[in-house]
Amino acid sequence: AVVSTQSTGEVIEGRLEPNPAVIKSISSLVSSLPLAKEHSQDFKVKTDQELLDVLLITTMSMLTKGIFTNQEVETKSKVFSKGLKSRSDLEYFSASIKASKI
């Protein structure tokens, strides 16, 4: 049986007679659900593990981004410390900057 929120509200307000088949279906569904108290510790452990996984992945991604940024700055500083001696050096440097932004 399909139960809409409108008919449920009407039953609660007393404007509609309750359907025993629907009540039995709802009762059966609710009794098949696990009790929260029995599984609360297991749920907390799983949730905490998920949170730790997300924090670890976020930390690793930030560290990786920082390493790549550091390497990029180091490479650019080496180019500038050597000096750009020709037009081809400048074109190579410009191309490497464009490639790193993509």
pLDDT digits (tens, 9 = 90+) for 21-68: 888 888 888 888 776 666 777 878 888 999 999 999 999 999 999 998
Measured distance CA(1)–CA(29) in Å, rounded: 12
Q: What percentage of the chain exceeds 90 in pLDDT?
A: 20
For residue 66, the model assigns a pLDDT of 92
Q: How confident is the model at residue 78 (pLDDT cuts 50, 70, 90)?
A: confident
pTM of the model: 0.42
Q: How confident is the model at residue 3 (pLDDT cuts 50, 70, 90)?
A: low
Give the DSSP per-residue string, 16-46.
Answer: S---HHHHHHHHHHHHHSPPHHHHHHHHHHH
